[in-house]
Structure 1
Amino acid sequence: MPIAEDPEPRPAAGREPGGSDPSEAGGKDPFADLVLDEEFVRGATVQEQSGRTRMLAARWKHTPPVDPGGRRSVNDGPAKAGRRFGRKPKAQPVDPWGNPRPRRRLEWRAPLYVALTIAVLLAALNIDGLRSWYAGRHGDSGSAAHTPVPTVAPETAKPTTAPPKVDDQQPTVDHPWAGSPAEGWPNGTEAFVLPDARPIGVFSADQVAAQLQSVKNYLIAANLDPKVLAGGRPDAALALLDREERDRATKALTNPSKDTDPTGWFSRFDQREAILVGDVVKVQGRITVEGDGDKGVLVHTDFSYVYPLRPGPDAAKRAASPPPPAGVPQPTRPAAPQDGTAKPVGLLVPADDVAGDTWTTRTVVRRVDTFRFYDPARYRVDPKRLVFGEGGGSDSANAACGVYDGYYHPQFDQFATDRPEAPGTRPTGPATDPYDRREDLSTDGGECGSVSRY
């Protein structure tokens, strides 16, 4: 079939009827029977380019095309090379035909999904830690929002009101003072504010000041020394006592019993059962001084100590075991030699660490003591040693009754059981508030009572 671009040569002569031979040369017109229909167009082997295509082809012979980018047009020519923040522009990648190749974008979503999946799995494996984290930042949904307890200064006189009620919250290792009015009490030795020293009896003001300092040192050594609280021997406190007082305390430490219980002098805990949380003990009370009417000096002390405690490695086992009969010491420590040099429990059995959301408890101990300094000209005493006067005593809250082994034994809520208690250990007295310091300490050694809070 002839094509439009390459027609057959027309004959030199010949005429066709009907005007089929416009040249009037007498030949036959090769295009006379040609029909330019759709079939003819589709069958063409060579197609004419559009005018725009030919124009662009001629221009690109001298100026290659560039990536227009944004709203630029190819008619704008190549973009000017520039720098951003002093950096050289990167070369635009092109394919083998010279066309710009799109840059590969970094896929950031896949690593994010992996990280989120790992975080969800870790939270599921430690749901208690997640609950503690949320409660610490957004408040515990199962209890009221924590209200800060106001700071309370050391006492200067007997209080007339009980500490206000605070939010009832479960204390933990991270928050050992939750739910306790002692949160606002002084820390440790800050509560021991000595009164102004003045001449009393045969003692000068400087001598009275030294006596007051000696009493303070004893209170620290007997009730706040970390080694003593961990069950150690209170050597520093014993060294401050008069010979007779020291012998009595040493005998109690060596052979504890109902009549000679070391907790009447010292605060100690069995490390296998209860371990002090941190190094802060809340203390509230006062020290007063007066003459004894016989040219001597009386120093009165009345303090409450609040000890935050976490379970030791054997706490759960001991809570589930039957309690001993009343008056019989528990075998919570090795048999002590008669010289009273037994090693503290904390040095024999290492205590395991626990998580920050582990439940803790508190034991409240109130001690009322009177220290007497005799006139050395009338009595054979050491004026630099402490002698206990009359009217002293101690009381403890959240400590097992009827156990006289030289240690306090607190109750942890997570190990509470319904096992029957031995006679003498069951609380039978009225419930009291161990933080209420308005009343004098009862020293009748009566019933084992319960507490309203601790």
Structure 2
Amino acid sequence: MPIAEDPEPRPSEGSEPGGSDPSGAGGKDPFADLVLDEEFIKAASVKEQSGRTRMLSARWKHTPPVDPGGRRSVNDGPAPKRRFGRKPKLQVVDPWGNPRPARRRRGLEWRTPLFIVLTVAVLLAALNVDALRTWLHGGADGSSAKAYAPVPTVAPETARPTSAPSKAPEEQPTLAHPWAGSPAEGWPTSMDAFGPKDAPDAIGVFSAEQVAAQVKLVKDYLAAANLDPKVIAGARPDAALAMLSRESQGRIGATLDKPSKEQDPTLWFARFDPREAIQIGDSAKVQGLITVEGDGDKGVLVHTDFTYVYALRPGPDAAKAPGSAQPSTKASQAPQDGTAKPVGLLVPADDAAGETWTTRTIVRRQQDFRFYDPARYRVDRAKLMVDKSATDIGNSACDVYDGFLHPQFDQFAAPGPDSTGPRSDPYDRSHDLPTTGGGDCGTVSRF
């Protein structure tokens, strides 16, 4: 029933049976039979946004989000090409999508240039190991790395020189440069380079061809006795002995069987004990002269005057050789260029460092060989008869008669009194050698 405050009739509360229209219009409620089950919720065309979505939508109205990169959709087009296969760096963002500054590790900025420098140093060292060793032993300023200029080639002699060879700059010979400071560097290495000044003529009963064959036999003997690498390494010189006559073979061979001061094999053969000294390479340097003359009824006389120079590196027992100091008590003496290598660091092996100190031994021999007339004397014309011989040896221990030469290495030199003998130049070929031995042990002015 209408009242004064509510002139319009109130709608029905819809509690009537059958679900009457709440507006009072008398129609049926359209939502009366609606059931809000799971199927209805999934089929809804409009869904309520979550609280986070509404919050971000409100924030992005004022502050649009920033694309951090690396996140692409199908609408972004093809991805850009990467250089060298590197992956793009992802930018760090906070939970709201804002870029966050990356953390920098303090104290690590110096490592990159250091790694670059170390890598370059290792590569350079690998390319030139010997130069690195020389730099380490000679100082950081590289004072030991000196320019090395080889001497020019020297032709065989055609006449006896009137003076000694000019002095070369004094340098310590090493495994890399075993002929440094020696005038023999440019000398020949084979007896084939030598011969008489002129082609030999017929002499006495011998034709020119026979004299040439005699000269060749002498050269073969000198090579077998003084240039054979096996003989230099200590082997018995059987090939050289086989070229001698029976008389000469018995006399010279006895020096090898029982070496002594009176019978010294080094006066005939160049042999080194491989435990003390080892030849560098397979060749020695040689310089000299061959002359031929007739000797009347006695036949032909072949004069030889040769100097042999041997470059040597220390063997495993070089420090124990005669005249050497023990490694525990003696350090190497420093040369003028400051490249001293202590004894304890020396490695006497085939792959020893290029700066390992070496030495040289110089042997000069003047020997005459006689070829008798086979019609007058009972001789074998294919054999050599040694008539005279004189030998001078530079850089070998004195008073040691075991059949071997004993060179002295500077890094193993033993301290002691100066030698009382004369000081001589082993390269001086301008004078004859004395035919008698003996005297005090002298010194050489160079080697």
Q: TM-score, normalised by structure 1?
A: 0.65
Is the alpha carbon distance of 1:222 and 1:84 closer, same or farther for their aligned partners in structure 2, counting shifts above 3 Å? same
Q: How does 1:78-89 map to 2 (within 5 A)?
A: none
Whole-angstrom distance in 1 between the partners of 2:91 and 2:135: 55
Q: What secondary structure, in the 3-state scheme, does the structure 2 residue paired with 1:378 have?
A: coil
Whole-angstrom distance in 1 between the partners of 2:396 and 2:276: 12
Percent sequence identity over matched residues?
Answer: 55
Aligned twin of 2:399? 402
Query: Which amino acid is the alignment partner of residue 175 of structure 2?
Result: V
- Say whether the 8 Å CA contact 1:191–1:286 is kept in structure 2: no
Report the RMSD for the aligned CA atoms in angstroms. Answer: 4.4
Q: Provide the aligned length of Structure 1 versus Structure 2.
A: 352
- Say whether the 8 Å CA contact 1:319–1:415 is kept in structure 2: no
Whole-angstrom distance in 2 between the partners of 1:428 and 1:270: 27
Is the alpha carbon distance of 1:128 and 1:366 closer, same or farther for their aligned partners in structure 2, counting shifts above 3 Å? farther
Is the alpha carbon distance of 1:440 and 1:79 closer, same or farther for their aligned partners in structure 2, counting shifts above 3 Å? farther
Instruction: Tell me how far 1:237 sits from its aligned partner.
Output: 0.3
Query: Which amino acid is the alignment partner of residue 192 of structure 1?
Result: F
Aligned twin of 1:260? 263
Instruction: Select 2:443's aligned residue among 436, 450, 454.
Output: 450
Query: Which amino acid is the alignment partner of residue 417 of structure 1?
Result: A
Is the alpha carbon distance of 1:321 and 1:82 closer, same or farther for their aligned partners in structure 2, counting shifts above 3 Å? closer
Aligned twin of 2:420? 428
Whole-angstrom distance in 2 between the partners of 1:88 and 1:452: 69
Instruction: Select 1:365's aligned residue among 351, 359, 363.
Output: 363
- Say whether the 8 Å CA contact 2:185–2:285 is kept in structure 1: yes
Instruction: Select 2:165's aligned residue among 160, 163, 173.
Output: 163
Instruction: Tell me how far 1:65 sits from its aligned partner.
Output: 7.1
Is the alpha carbon distance of 1:92 and 1:210 closer, same or farther for their aligned partners in structure 2, counting shifts above 3 Å? same
Aligned twin of 1:174? 176
Is the alpha carbon distance of 1:102 and 1:165 closer, same or farther for their aligned partners in structure 2, counting shifts above 3 Å? farther
Q: How does 1:203-352 map to 2 (within 5 A)?
A: 203-294=206-297, 296-319=299-322, 352=349
Q: What secondary structure, in the 3-state scheme, does the structure 2 residue paired with 1:279 have?
A: coil
Is the alpha carbon distance of 1:188 and 1:79 closer, same or farther for their aligned partners in structure 2, counting shifts above 3 Å? farther
- The farther-off stretch of 409-418 and 310-319 is 310-319
Aligned twin of 2:45? none
Structure 2's unaligned 5+ residue stretches are: 1-54, 70-75, 103-108, 326-347
Q: Deviations over 1:134-167 (max 9, x none)?
A: 79x96637xx864432321111111123211111
Q: How does 1:177-188 map to 2 (within 5 A)?
A: 177-188=179-190
Whole-angstrom distance in 2 between the partners of 1:183 and 1:175: 10
Aligned twin of 1:73? none
| 2:433 aligned with 1:441 | yes
Whole-angstrom distance in 1 between the partners of 2:399 and 2:267: 14
- The farther-off stretch of 144-153 and 264-273 is 144-153
Aligned twin of 2:153? 151
- Say whether the 8 Å CA contact 2:134–2:355 is kept in structure 1: no
Higher gyration radius (CA): 2
Q: What secondary structure, in the 3-state scheme, does the structure 2 residue paired with 1:304 have?
A: strand
Q: Deviations over 1:47-71 (max 9, x none)?
A: xx9xxx98996xx9xxx9798xxxx
Is the alpha carbon distance of 1:88 and 1:259 closer, same or farther for their aligned partners in structure 2, counting shifts above 3 Å? closer
| 2:129 aligned with 1:140 | no
Q: TM-score, normalised by structure 2?
A: 0.66
Whole-angstrom distance in 1 between the partners of 2:206 and 2:277: 44
Is the alpha carbon distance of 1:243 and 1:99 closer, same or farther for their aligned partners in structure 2, counting shifts above 3 Å? farther
Is the alpha carbon distance of 1:223 and 1:210 closer, same or farther for their aligned partners in structure 2, counting shifts above 3 Å? same
- Say whether the 8 Å CA contact 1:202–1:295 is kept in structure 2: no
Instruction: Select 2:134's aligned residue among 126, 130, 133.
Output: 130
Query: Which amino acid is the alignment partner of residue 356 of structure 1?
Result: G
